[in-house]
Chains A and B, each alone.
Chain A
Amino acid sequence: MTSTSTRPTRTTTPGPAGALPALGRIRPAWWGVAVLALVTLVVTNTASSYNVFVYDSILLAVMGAVALQVLQGTTGQFSVGNAAFLLIGAFSAVFVQREGLPFPVDLVVATVVAGIAGLIVGIPALRLRGLFLVLATFAAHFIATFLGNLYQGHHPEYAATGFFIPVLFADHPDGGGTAWSWLLFAIVALLILGATRIVRERSGRALRMIRQHEHIAPTLGIKVGRYKLLIFTLSSMVIGFQGALLAHLNGSVQVANFTLILAFQYVLMIVIGGLDSIPGAVIGAAVVIALPIAVPHILTGLHADSVDPTLSANFSLIIYGVAVILFVTASPDGIMGLLRALGRRVVRLPGIRDAYARAVAGTRG
């Protein structure tokens, strides 16, 4: 698993490495970003404004999924803290906005506050492993929810509606959906490239050593504590930033939106997509976010009449659950594992194998 995943985007965007050496030298992550740019271009030009909003939500979720992927998939620090850090980021943005500071400042403050909170949660991670770390982030979730409720309780006038926060790009003719898409694409692209840099080479090897043999890592000169705190802080900063952006996309912030189920969903994303794989996090986020939106369409397709929204929501829950159980039992490497297996099959097909051999021979000769 480790050796294949050091070049994460290979399977999604198989560059013709042998045939065109110049293309082969392009890092796989850049191929991933190029594909994402293409998808963004297509979506912003063809999709309805609602579907653009869905795409924006997916890109936003990709941020949290990639952050969790590096923390949990690569470093092995199992966390259910995503909802807590989202809440911290969103409420920091609300607080700063209510203090009267302008737009970009709240993003910065949210990122910094979430980073500090991540550092605090990361300190138990120096002592705790596995299950105990899950429970520590689980406790952190409830403490963050409590603080959010406390703040919300001080402003009872917003108890029912949540705090309002100006929606970004609301003055654009299309409601700002496409502007959001490009903004989020830029952020996600930077995040993917940065995260790929971390999970490759020296730091990547150190992180995987911490995941698999934490007690041996120090003997190889890996500073386990420093790496753990660094990854915890970075990932919570990303999630806090995502929380502030989420507030600006939705326009309102409420504690009730940041549930434990939301945190579970992020774990689902990386498990469905494939642990320790950045493209896996992207695919998983897309699947988990798009599923509850796709299910009503599938149900109407089957029944050919209107479907009760709660029914389809419950169907999505069941599909989530069955999917995660299937992946855990049958394909622990998630969708990326399936794709890699498929890629190996395809490469072994006689026609492709011969063409590949000829191409390799051609470049050598």
Chain B
Amino acid sequence: MTRLIVSLVAGMTLGGTFALIGLGLVLAFRATHTFNFAHGQLMLLPAFIVGWLQLDGHRTWVALLIAVVVSLVVGALFYWLVLRRTTGQGVMMGIIATFGLAFVLDGVMGIVIPANQYDIDLPGIPQGTVGIVGVRVSAESLTFAGGTFALALVVIAILRFTHIGIRVRAGGQNALLASQGGINVRRVHMGSWAVAALLAAIAGISYGSVTTVNASLVGLGLAAVPAIILGGMDSIEGAVVGGVAIGLVQAFTQTYLGGQYTDVVSYGILLLVLLVLPQGLFGTRNVVRA
């Protein structure tokens, strides 16, 4: 029972983070049909910035603000300077360009950030443990699980019900028709990439504050790939459902099989989904555009 509750809480915490990472990946994918292999670096960079500035004695909100602004700028610039120019060359060139972004961000972080491990301390987050049916679990983890889900739901609501959300979805579904309808598609796509980077930043900072910030965050970003494929590559709701599912699977694998099996189980699921149901649970059936 204890192990079950612990796995559930760990799975929900991980699932919330995967949901945020997945939302970012899906937003970027819907905008330009580019799968972002640099998403892990986009998580690590702001987390590093916050940890570094905090250690330097800056106020937390200053550090967070700088990290968020840097993320938004990197996401928007990458679209404007790179992906905008690969339009019409096939999706593969865009994906290769994200390899380039990953290399550049890795190199820049290695030069600019002085240490390779930081702790992030966010004020106002409850510490200690709380009891759930007699099992003590970390209050911090619960807060982040709740927070990430709330944020994911807010993003979904914005995309579904607001004017901006409709523009974003239209621009992703059919750029030509959307532009005929008076939507500035490039601006929408740039905004999608900026928000995708912002979601990556939030995921990176929140997960980094629960654990520590180091290069393994990049691996976490890649580990969200099975989640979005399970949910459906272009489905916003699917990212959350898939994120929770893969988070729970990973947590239960960790508890009952051992830590070394988490990766192989989730990537096995990825392979299986690709073979049996390539469009995922909620994705559009005909999403292959190569």
Contacts and interface: CB of A to CB of B under 8 A. Distances in A.
Contacts of B99: 264, 267-268, 321, 324
A324 B107 contact: no
A329 B289 CA distance: 20
A132 B82 contact: no
Interface residues of A, number: 46
A45 B96 CA distance: 38
Interface string A309-326: 011011111111111110
A127 B290 CA distance: 13
A146 B260 CA distance: 8
B95 to A, nearest CB: 7
Contact of B268 (A134, A143, A149, A153): A143
Contacts of B93: 328, 332
A132 B278 contact: yes
A67 B275 CA distance: 25
Given A142-B263, A317-B110, A328 B100 contact: yes
Contacts of B91: 130-131
B104 interface: yes
Interface in B104-150: 104-108, 110-111
Contacts of A310: 110
A128 interface: yes
B96 A143 contact: no
B222 interface: yes
A124 interface: yes
Given A124-B274, A317-B110, A325 B104 contact: yes
A179 interface: no
Interface string A248-271: 000000000000100010011001
A259 B276 CA distance: 28
B111 to A, nearest CB: 5
Contacts of B275: 124, 127-128
Contacts of B18: none
Given A131-B290, A140-B271, A260 B222 contact: yes
A264 B268 CA distance: 21
Nearest to B110: A314
B214 to A, nearest CB: 15
A127 to B, nearest CB: 7
A318 B267 contact: no
Contact of B278 (A128, A142, A260, A311): A128
B92 interface: yes
A10 interface: no
Interface in B16-49: 33, 35, 37
Contacts of A140: 271
Interface in B60-112: 81-82, 85-86, 89, 91-97, 99-108, 110-111
A164 interface: no
10 contacts: A124-B271, A128-B288, A129-B290, A130-B288, A135-B35, A139-B268, A146-B264, A311-B111, A324-B97, A329-B85
The 8 closest A-B pairs by CB, nearest first: A130-B290, A321-B103, A317-B107, A321-B104, A314-B110, A318-B107, A324-B100, A325-B100
Interface of B: 33, 35, 37, 81-82, 85-86, 89, 91-97, 99-108, 110-111, 222, 225-226, 229, 233, 260-261, 263-264, 267-268, 270-271, 274-275, 278, 288-290
Given A136-B274, A264-B99, A268-B96, 7 more contacts: A124-B271, A131-B289, A142-B267, A149-B260, A150-B260, A321-B102, A325-B100
